[in-house]
Amino acid sequence: MAENNDRAKKQLLLRLSPTLYSEITRWAEEDFRSVNGQIEYLLTGCVNRRKKSTGGRKEGENDA
């Protein structure tokens, strides 16, 4: 049962400016996604690009 809880999506409160929310809403509609799905898609892409650029290392880790 604990294994299922580890895989469950986490909920969080996110405050956005009306302008940013409007832009994300338009983008989501173009991609046929919900606003929540669009934000998750964008964050996932950002995290994956960061992993590639740092070689999977966490910030502050040394190559030693």
For 7-63, how does the pLDDT look when each residue is reduced to its tens digit (9 = 90+)?
Answer: 898 999 999 999 999 999 999 999 999 999 999 999 999 999 999 998 867 666 665
The DSSP letter of residue 32 is T
- Report the b/e string of 4-35 with b at 16+ CB within 10 A: eeeeeeeeeeeeeeeeeeeebeeebeeeebee
**Is there a contact between 36 and 21 (Cβ–Cβ < 8 Å)?**
no
Residue-level pLDDT at 1: 52
What's the one-letter identity of residue 50? R
pTM of the model: 0.71
Residue carrying the six token digits 């934000």: 39
